[in-house]
A = this chain, B = another copy of it.
């Protein structure tokens, strides 16, 4: 599992670092990440309204940037939905 975890951290940082800090995703960085890295888990990511809604549901302190832990909640929710868990 550690290799897979390292991939997720490295990809987050790669997208987060597009404009400055590698610690957080701006809305544009988030859209680029979702569109290119989560094409099957997030549908209609080309629609700005989809990205807007997802972003605001995750951005707990509402500062327009997603931390790694905020982003992690999305990935967990998607993995849980698509993983076929009964609970």
Q: Looking across the interface, which residue of chain B has its beta carbon closest to that of A83?
A: B9
When distances are taken between beta carbons in the complex, the residues of chain B under 8 Å from A40 are 2
Interface of A is mostly: helix
**Given contacts A23-B87, A87-B67, is CB(A41)–CB(B5) below 8 Å?**
yes
Render A26-49 as a binary contact track against B, CB cut-off 8 A, 1 for contact. 000000010001111100000000
In the complex, what distance in Å separates the CA atom of A3 from the CA atom of B37?
9
21 A-B pairs (CB sep. < 8 Å): A1-B33, A1-B37, A1-B75, A2-B37, A2-B39, A2-B40, A4-B5, A4-B7, A4-B11, A5-B75, A5-B78, A5-B79, A9-B79, A13-B83, A23-B86, A67-B85, A68-B76, A69-B76, A72-B75, A73-B76, A76-B76
